[in-house]
Amino acid sequence: MPKNFHKIDLNDMRLFVSVVQAGSLTRASELLDVPKSHLSRHLTELENSLGTTLMDRGRRGIVLNELGRRFLHNAQEMLRLAQMAIDDIQTNLQKPNGLLRMSVSTEVGRGFLMHHLPAYFKRYPDVNVEVQIDNRKVNMIQDGIDIALRVGSINNDNVVARKLFDLELGVFASPGYLAQYGIPQTPHELYGHQLLYKYDGPEWAFQKEQHRVVIDGQHKLRTNDFNLIAQMVSEGLGIAVLPCFDNMIKEDWIKILPEWTLETVPVYVVYYKNRGATSVVRSMVDFLLDIPQKT
């Protein structure tokens, strides 16, 4: 065992995790508002105390070695437990308060979050919420985001992802469009139509009994915004796969291929492991998980 092993500082472990999450010493220095030299010195002291290097620090950022990856996982868990111990006391002394920053896509913001925020504010009047509505996947650390609502699978070992609900999808068109071009009777007949497509959205995968058909035709419109697609459906410009949010699907639209089903897409609330124990983050996570889902 290294002779300085007993001198390892919990704050050095916290700095190590912050630097790795930021991606570079320069970015971590900006986010933490501490000199880059301070971070470098404490990382070196941590490695000296452990008796091994954990990372390569180059111009292209931080690259962890095998021991570094193992240490990161355990350090995050230790910091999470330490934060839980602190917050357990604090939450008994005060109600959740302060600023909570969220990131959400436009369709989930309009179709889900906006309907429930008033109830959250009534329950937690001392919390202020800043909502960033953006269809790009933000870097939660760099953008200072506490909670994100994500659609689809989550591939990040540094975050906690709790599923809120499964988002139902449907194929829709306006009566005017279908009167002009006809109603497709099978998924394959979609190839003869004007398709409106979300390029970072779910695939057009149709299921009927044991048959599965994936459609990837010529698209009249490609975008990353379901709301734009919905507007184009209303204008009679084509056929689209859309999430079945009440305020997105218009009453006069026609649902196409009702005997075929589309795979549902999970919606998650996501937060970093070392932030989940804070009272303000936990208040929103627990609130969202408590929302009853339609059956």
The residue type at 275: R
Among the listed residues 26, 45, 46, the one whose alpha carbon sits nearest the alpha carbon of residue 36: 26
Please give the CATH architecture assigned to the domain spanning 169-263: 3-Layer(aba) Sandwich (3.40)
Q: d(Cα 162, Cα 18) in Å, to the nearest integer?
A: 23
Q: How many residues does the chain have?
A: 295
Residue 295 confidence (pLDDT): 41
User: Could you tell me which residue, 217 or 40, shows the higher pLDDT?
Assistant: 40
Task: Provide the angle, in degrees to the nearest 10, between the axes of the packed helices 279-289 and 114-123.
Answer: 130
- DSSP one-letter code for 168: P
Return the CATH number of 95-164+266-289, one of 3.40.50.300, 3.40.225.10, 3.40.190.10, 3.40.50.1100: 3.40.190.10
Strand partners, 17: none
- Which pLDDT band holds residue 92 (cuts at 50, 70, 90)? low
Q: What is the pLDDT of residues 232-270, one digit of tens each?
A: 999 999 999 999 988 889 999 999 999 999 988 899 999
Residue 33 confidence (pLDDT): 87
DSSP string computed for 209-256: TTEEEEE---EEEEES-HHHHHHHHHTT--EEEEE--TTTS-TT-EEE
- Which pLDDT band holds residue 51 (cuts at 50, 70, 90)? confident
Helix (H, G, I), strand (E, B) or coil at 154: coil
Q: d(Cα 64, Cα 57) in Å, to the nearest integer?
A: 9
Answer whether residue 293 shows pLDDT above 80. Answer: no
Q: First and final CA of the chain: distance in angstroms?
A: 57
Average pLDDT, the chain: 87
Query: How big is the chain by its Cα radius of gyration, in Å?
Result: 24
Helix or strand holding residue 128 (H, E)? strand 127-133
Angle at 154 between CA 150 and CA 155, to 5 degrees: 145
**Strands 98-104 vs 147-151: parallel, antiparallel or unpaired:** parallel
Residue 153 confidence (pLDDT): 79
Where exactly are the structural domains of the chain?
Answer: 5-91, 95-164+266-289, 169-263
Q: Do domains 95-164+266-289 and 169-263 have the same CATH topology?
A: yes
Strand partners, 149: 104, 269
Task: Provide the angle, in degrees to the nearest 10, between the axes of the packed helices 66-93 and 10-22.
Answer: 110
Q: Where are the alpha helices (DSSP H) in 51-195?
A: 66-93, 106-108, 114-123, 175-181
Residue 210 confidence (pLDDT): 87
- Which pLDDT band holds residue 26 (cuts at 50, 70, 90)? confident
Q: Using an 8 Å Cβ cutoff, are 97 and 280 in contact?
A: yes
Q: Which CATH class is domain 5-91?
A: mainly alpha
Answer whether residue 211 shows pLDDT above 60. Answer: yes
Stated pTM of the model: 0.64
Q: What is the pLDDT of residues 115-163, one digit of tens each?
A: 999 999 999 999 999 999 887 777 788 888 999 998 887 777 778 899 9
